[in-house]
Chains A and B, each alone.
Chain A
Amino acid sequence: MAKQQTLAISKRKTGLRKRAVRSFRKHWQFYLLIIPPVLYFIIFKYIPMFGSIIAFKDYSVVQGILGSPWAGFKYFKMFFDNPMAWSLIKNTMVLSLYHIAVSFPLPIILALALNEIRQGIFKRSVQMITYAPYFISTVVLVSMIIMLTSPRLGIFNHILEALGFHSINFMGEPGMFRSIYVWSDVWQNTGYSAVVYLAALAGIDPALYEAAKMDGASRFQKIIHVDLPGILPAMTIILILTVGNLMAVGFEKIYLLQNPLNLSASEVLATYVYKMGLLNANFSFATAIGLFNSVVNLILILFANVLAKRISGNSLW
């Protein structure tokens, strides 16, 4: 029995080797082609992964990554002993959860609404217009936010004043920061995110709609009983990916939106890493925080994937 098994394994092994040799001989050009992209991934992705060991070292530019002396968990301790740490983690989590709570359901609603209306100019215009802000750069978007909400010039405050309210310095209020970040993101990305769901909706079997109509289902009932189950796999996958990025909030935009007045709400892990590492040159300390962030993300995505598999049977792998 055991002998048979080892025989089978060794047979498979030689089969594998044979296939490998045949593939190398026949398709050697493929292996040549992938050298530049593989080198790219090694140099710009895998070496930095290895380089994050400087989180456990006293990195100095002169001694390099390998030559610098080990420091153990010194920098992690330094981070968690700092009261700042918890406010950074809190800011990151709250912003992320707020963002998910709003930006996960809205594209689904938009896609379902678009799916109900007839093919034609109106539908195409809605799609084209909702999709357009996706192409605006972060710098331009943030400039627009700052200009539109400015206390002196901004149209938002002109409207408030016209309605008899006092003007608000939106960018200077820590309490407003999260809403500005989340709702401007909704404005920019909802149309783009809806495309995935529209594709999933287009793939639903028309026979299901026929059957629902025969049973006298209303439009709303069809959405609940046909559309939603039809896009459930897409929803699950997008939710897993979103949860996996829980701690990786849109750093570039937050950094641009920051000012000294809203810092108490807008300082998140990623912006702190940037300031500590590149502006203050505390490479090891910043890398330790960044590594903590990456590891939490990795755990979250693995956890979300397992959970999704259990509950809905859909998963990333």
Chain B
Amino acid sequence: MTAKKSTIKDTFGDKVFLTVIYIFLILVILVILYPLIYIVSSSFSSPLAVSSGKVWLWPVHFSLEGYKAVFNNSQVIVGYANSLFYTFFGTLISVTLTVLFAYPLSRKSFFGRGPLMFFILFTMLFSGGLIPEYLIVKDLHMLDTRWAMLIPKAIAVWQVIIARTFFQTSIPDELVEASEMDGCSDLRFLMSIVIPLSKPIIAVLVLMYAVFQWNSYFDAMIYLKSESLFPLQVVLRNILIVNTTSSAGMDAGKMMELKQLADLMKYSLIVVASIPVLIIYPFVQRHFMKGVMIGSIKG
């Protein structure tokens, strides 16, 4: 709004300044987009074009070889299914626990909310560290089970704060008092009034937890041993970073070809792994911003 008004009588200096800003922002966009476009273009090129460095911006010798290789890889398919499982159930558990905690914390009539807030905020300042956290998961016999992916990181303090702030500001105390007069219990009020009124914040929580689950690899790396339980990110790490493709005992020409295909497959794999997030991104973008903003009102 302020920008619109001031353009009328922008001085020469202001115009130069504004031009510099536009140039700066265009450069920022290019720097961010270029690697992404390069990866996608490479993934649609031929193995030879990728390994000989012919791809600069657009696909060269369009082919779907890389994607064929990805979908022929059983590890990737199992990882994909596992990640969907962890993301769905992990998000369900996380959102439920977060709402259960955040709603009572948002009510003034709830005695003890001050100490309870301190109780959770303190965990942001100090933690037991990696080893004691690992040992508790071990003692609970969760190692190498699906539970290890769903429970130990179930609640993020930040999300509790965001949800609490939302409940505080959008569910007025008068509404609670009125429903109490009518003999509505706290539980019923939560289920039939608060949750329907809080769809925006629940969307934010679902999205944040889901992206977190989909993208996490570290817990899986330390808690899981069986390959059949690995989420996609661990499979990706093994293929893309640790490089576990074996090429022993093959003739040189065949090996060369396989190596080229393996290189190409990495690009396709990156695209395939990011697709779920990329598809939902345009829809969730606004909600994410809202989440960050609510969180920043009262940190």
Chain A residues with CB under 8 Å of chain B are 19-20, 22-24, 26-27, 29-34, 36-38, 40-41, 43-52, 54, 65, 110, 113-114, 116-119, 122, 125-126, 128-133, 135-140, 142-144, 146-148, 153, 155, 158, 187, 191-192, 195-196, 199-200, 206, 209, 213, 218-220, 234, 237, 244, 251-252, 255-256, 270, 273-274, 277-278, 283, 286-287, 290-291, 293-294, 297-298, 301, 316
**B127-A48 in contact (CB<8A):** yes
Which residues in B have their C-beta under 8 angstroms from that of A293? 129
- If A147-B240, A218-B11 are given as contacts, then 15 extra A-B residue pairs at C-beta distance below 8 Å, sorted by A number, are A22-B111, A29-B185, A34-B116, A36-B100, A37-B97, A41-B120, A50-B128, A116-B3, A122-B25, A130-B32, A135-B215, A146-B241, A155-B55, A219-B6, A287-B129
**B130-A273 in contact (CB<8A):** yes
Flag whether B33 is at the interface (Cβ < 8 A).
yes
Name the one of B11, B119, B151, B233 contacting A137, with C-beta atoms under 8 angstroms: B233
Flag whether B31 is at the interface (Cβ < 8 A).
yes
| B window 130-173: CB within 8 A of A | 130-136, 140, 151-152, 154-155, 160
**B126-A129 in contact (CB<8A):** no
A138 CA to B263 CA, complexed, in Å: 20
Flag whether B256 is at the interface (Cβ < 8 A).
no
User: Which of A20, A32, A48 has most B Cβ within 10 Å?
Assistant: A48
User: Which of B5, B18, B50, B128 has most A Cβ within 10 Å?
Assistant: B128
Which residues in B have their C-beta under 8 angstroms from that of A139? 215, 217, 233, 236-237, 240-241
Name the one of B103, B116, B119, B241 contacting A256, with C-beta atoms under 8 angstroms: B241
**A140-B273 in contact (CB<8A):** yes
Name the one of A19, A155, A187, A278 contacting B31, with C-beta atoms under 8 angstroms: A187
Name the one of B32, B105, B133, B296 contacting A133, with C-beta atoms under 8 angstroms: B32
Name the one of A20, A200, A273 contacting B131, with C-beta atoms under 8 angstroms: A273
Chain B: minimal CB distance from A102 (Å): 14
Which residues in A have their C-beta under 8 angstroms from that of B17? 218-220
**B135-A41 in contact (CB<8A):** no
| B window 1-24: CB within 8 A of A | 1-7, 10-11, 13-14, 17-18, 21-22, 24
**B241-A41 in contact (CB<8A):** no
Chain A: minimal CB distance from B113 (Å): 9
User: Which of A27, A46, A144, A219 has most B Cβ within 10 Å?
Assistant: A219
Which residues in B have their C-beta under 8 angstroms from that of A29? 185-187
A132/B263 contact (C-beta < 8 A), A23-B109, A48-B136, A52-B129 known: no
**B38-A148 in contact (CB<8A):** yes
**B100-A298 in contact (CB<8A):** no
**B133-A291 in contact (CB<8A):** no
16 contacts between A and B (CB under 8 A): A23-B112, A33-B103, A47-B132, A48-B129, A51-B128, A117-B3, A129-B29, A136-B277, A138-B217, A144-B39, A146-B241, A148-B35, A277-B131, A277-B134, A294-B126, A294-B129
Which residues in A have their C-beta under 8 angstroms from that of B4? 118-119
Chain B: minimal CB distance from A308 (Å): 13
**A37-B101 in contact (CB<8A):** yes
A137/B215 contact (C-beta < 8 A), A144-B35, A195-B293 known: yes
A291 CA to B126 CA, complexed, in Å: 9
Chain B 262-299, CB within 8 Å of chain A: the 1/0 string? 01001100100110011001100100110011001001
Chain B residues with CB under 8 Å of chain A are 1-7, 10-11, 13-14, 17-18, 21-22, 24-25, 28-29, 31-33, 35-36, 38-39, 50-51, 53, 55-56, 97-98, 100-101, 103-105, 107, 109-112, 116, 119-120, 123, 125-136, 140, 151-152, 154-155, 160, 185-187, 190, 211, 214-218, 222, 233, 236-237, 240-241, 263, 266-267, 270, 273-274, 277-278, 281-282, 285, 288-289, 292-293, 296, 299
Which residues in A have their C-beta under 8 angstroms from that of B22? 117
**A27-B186 in contact (CB<8A):** yes
**A153-B53 in contact (CB<8A):** yes
**B129-A130 in contact (CB<8A):** no
Which residues in B have their C-beta under 8 angstroms from that of A30? 104, 107, 110, 186
Name the one of A20, A44, A273, A291 contacting B111, with C-beta atoms under 8 angstroms: A20
Which residues in B have their C-beta under 8 angstroms from that of A191? 32
User: Which of B24, B28, B133, B299 has most A Cβ within 10 Å?
Assistant: B28
Name the one of B125, B132, B237, B292 contacting A287, with C-beta atoms under 8 angstroms: B132
**B29-A51 in contact (CB<8A):** no
Which residues in A have their C-beta under 8 angstroms from that of B127? 45, 48-49, 294
A131/B285 contact (C-beta < 8 A), A140-B236, A195-B293, A196-B296 known: yes
- A-B interface, 6 closest residue pairs, ranked by CB to CB distance from nearest: A48-B128, A23-B111, A290-B129, A51-B132, A137-B215, A48-B132
